Amino acid sequence: MYHQFFSEFLSGGDTLRVYQGEHLTFSSNKDRLLALLEYITRFVPQRQPVVIFDKIMGNAAALLSVKAGGREVYSPLASLPAIKTLDKYDIKYHISEIVSYIQKPDEPDMCPMEKLSLDKEPEEFYQVMKDTIKEQEGKSWR
């Protein structure tokens, strides 16, 4: 069932989709981790467990997927640290390509969020992200 949803996700413009059973509960085309952070803020802990479709599953997204109550993730691209996190938290995954780490766009350096997420637990990383966004936007997150 989810393989058909994954195919539709890949051909669509969304960067994130979250399903509870066969019901699409959230979708977004926001960049990077913003979509997953918005989902967590709006729906966790009410909607768990869920299946997450994300365009890039770096370790940062994997940690947030744990926080979001993910039981299964689908992505065309994931990093080795993300795979280790998903394994650690017993989250099933369906990944098209696995890379050593997520890179900055058009650069060989590691993505700053990938680097920031290393050696962190899901709740710890979520709090760091909330604080970072609060600083940048001057807005309050729960």
What confidence tens digit (pLDDT) does each residue in 71-107 have? 999 999 999 999 999 999 999 999 999 999 999 888 8
pLDDT tens sequence for the chain (142 residues): 798 999 999 999 999 999 999 999 999 999 889 999 999 999 888 777 999 999 999 999 999 999 999 999 999 999 999 999 999 999 999 999 999 999 988 888 999 999 999 999 999 999 999 888 777 766 544 4
> Which residue has 């997520």 as its token pair?
102
Domains along the chain? 2-135 (3.40.140.30)
